[in-house]
Amino acid sequence: MPVALVGTALVAVLALSGCTSGESAAATRDGTTGGTGSTAGTSTSQAPVTPAAKVTATSAADVSPAGPVTVAVTDGTLQAVTLTNGDGKAVKGALSADKTTWTVGEQLGYGKTYTWAGNAVGTDGKAVPVNGSFTTVKPKRTISASLNTGDGQTYGIAIPVAVTFNAPVKDHAAAQKALKVTTTPTTEGAWAWLDDQTVHWRPKDYYQPGTKVDVTVGIYGVDLGGGSYGRDNVTSSFTIGRSQVVKADTQTHRMLVFTNGVKTFDFPASMGLDSDPGRVTHSGTHVVMGKSATYAMSNPKYHYENVVVPWAVRVSNNGEFVHGYAGSVPDQGKRNVSHGCVNLSPTNAKLYYDTAMVGDPVEITGSTQQLGPADGDYYDWALTWAQWTAKSA
């Protein structure tokens, strides 16, 4: 009997031991392979995070009114955006196709306050406000600019693009970054500062006939240095006409005209008196600046005033013209007797006048004096390309 009791106790112990593996057994019945201590049935998954919208809007003092002025959102989309000026008037703007950016679409004013309003919705479905404000810079002064070329006009193959400011510009580099010339076909060219108020663009070589030129002086909102900002933007679109080049030699006393590479005229001429530095015609590439059917010539230093000449074509700002003058006809083709101009007979001057175009090059050679800065605005071609590019900011 005692033996039987012991055996029963052993069976009970074995049965209790078997109960400790019931969880694993259940897991096995559920198709898992883990045994005692297995974590297969205790792992958990995390729900994806849906972030809130993050809105960034221009919000500062002394903002350039030229922009960029924007609102942008990440992790969401813009639902509505308005920007109002100090009078409560809405500013024009545009929302990007993906509704993540809104950009001002009109010119803002100097010294103004603008206020944002609107909202964005994040990927979490919650609205986030668009708010805040900014002020635009208030300049000490504004500087305007003008161009020498007009819309829809046609010019000769040597025309420079001349930008003239109404006051000195201290920061040439900032101003030059706002200047743009686009040509079709592409034409190599460069800007050069002739002084603090004048910057020109000219091609490395003469333009190809028919070239289209677009100029933008985008200085509005640009800090030009010393507290000055650009007043207005200026643009111009023009065309280069046929090729016409004048070649005048003070030693041969002749003026030749080449149109589209063909010699069209060969005129006897009288140029500035060689023995007088104050009268000699300057050598170098001049540019036609304008023309008048009649022009009154005056030079107090040489004791003449309002001498009217026909068919006058201005080629520099130092008083040099190509014009008709009957009084020097006996000298034309033989000797130089003028006060710096290229004299032709009235008949020949009219022939040339009728073909001349602003921007045409007039190449004069043979004299003792060279064209330079003292001769006025259009001495651009008197400089080598290296000299020209050295004047760029």
Q: State whether 76 and 101 are in the same domain.
A: yes
On whether residue 40 sits in a domain, the answer given is: no
pLDDT at 7 over 50: no
Q: What percent of the chain lies above the pLDDT cut of 70?
A: 88
CA-to-CA separations, 285 to 223, 359, 383, in angstroms, rounded: 36, 11, 9
Q: State whether 228 and 267 are in the same domain.
A: no
Residue with tokens 């005033």: 305
Q: State whether 83 and 190 are in the same domain.
A: no
Q: State whether 172 and 208 are in the same domain.
A: yes
On whether residue 36 sits in a domain, the answer given is: no
**Arithmetic mean of pLDDT over the chain:** 90
CATH assignment at residue 64: 2.60.40.3780
On whether residue 336 sits in a domain, the answer given is: yes
Q: State whether 266 and 213 are in the same domain.
A: no
Q: Which amino acid is at 53?
A: A
Supply the pLDDT for residue 50. 87
Tokens standing for 370? 């060279």
Q: State whether 255 and 212 are in the same domain.
A: no
Q: Which of 135, 162, 191 is the last residue of a domain?
A: 135
On whether residue 389 sits in a domain, the answer given is: no
**Residues with catalytic function:** 323, 341
CATH assignment at residue 276: 2.40.440.10
Q: State whether 70 and 159 are in the same domain.
A: no
On whether residue 340 sits in a domain, the answer given is: yes
Q: Number of structural domains, the chain?
A: 3
Supply the pLDDT for residue 16. 33
- C-beta neighbour count of 328 within 10 angstroms: 20
CATH assignment at residue 185: 2.60.40.3710
Give residue-wise pLDDT tens across range 213-253: 999 999 999 999 999 999 999 999 999 999 999 999 999 99
Supply the pLDDT for residue 14. 30
Judge contact between 77 and 120, C-beta under 8 A: yes
On whether residue 382 sits in a domain, the answer given is: no
Q: State whether 254 and 361 are in the same domain.
A: yes
On whether residue 38 sits in a domain, the answer given is: no
Query: How far apart (Å, rounded) are the C-alpha atoms in residues 274 and 278?
Result: 9
Tokens standing for 246? 């004048």
**What is the extent of the structural domain holding 296?**
244-374
Q: Which amino acid is at 369?
A: Q
Q: State whether 86 and 183 are in the same domain.
A: no
Average pLDDT over residues 64-89: 96
Query: How far apart (Å, rounded) are the C-alpha atoms in residues 38 and 20?
Result: 13
Give residue-wise pLDDT tens across range 152-197: 999 999 999 999 999 999 999 999 999 999 999 999 999 999 999 9
On whether residue 31 sits in a domain, the answer given is: no
Residue with tokens 């063909």: 262
